[in-house]
Amino acid sequence: MKTKAVQTAAPVPACGFQRGTWECRGDGYLWDADCDGWDPAENDNPCPCCNTMEYLQRAKDEAESCSYYSNNGSSGTGEDIWLNCLSWAEAANPEGLPEILRQIGPVEALIDDPSAPDGYIVRTNNAEVTP
Ligand SMILES: [Zn+2]
């Protein structure tokens, strides 16, 4: 049986980002402070403050592959995923954001639309940036 490595203190000083019980671990990822610790190999939740690029890259991937989501009472379209993450990134890392958005380029966000032939439409976000 393999014992799961659990860490409870950041190896390097964290950037201080906090959202509810979620806090930056100091390695570019978040952990839930309600838990006993975290698995250092787990990197499901990039920090929007010190790991903004990966955070937004994942938001883009999700927005471009999912037209509708629903969990724990919240729901929305792929575009909502992108816009939600974008507003967090904007609040957490306003200085770095313009350059990161330029690198990420246009986001072809999916929007649930039952009247469309495919069941969704695509709206381009972040289109004003030139790669
Ligand atoms: Zn951070």
Q: What's the distance, CA 85 to chain centroid? A: 5
Distance 17 CA to ligand 1 centre (A): 5
* Nearest by Cα to 35 from 44, 18, 48, 22: 22
Distance 10 CA to ligand 1 centre (A): 11
Strand-pairing partners, residue 46, are 29
Distance 97 CA to ligand 1 centre (A): 14
Strand-pairing partners, residue 31, are 23
Q: What residues are neighbours of ligand 1 (ion), with CB under 5 Å?
A: 15, 17, 24, 47, 49-50
pLDDT for 131 equals: 54
Distances in Å between the Cα of 43 and the Cα atoms of 26, 29, 37 are 12, 6, 13
pLDDT for 9 equals: 64
Q: Write down the pTM of the prediction.
A: 0.86
Q: Across the 131 residues of the chain, what is the mean pLDDT of every consecutive 10-residue run? A: 63 83 94 90 95 98 96 93 97 96 97 96 89 54
pLDDT for 45 equals: 95
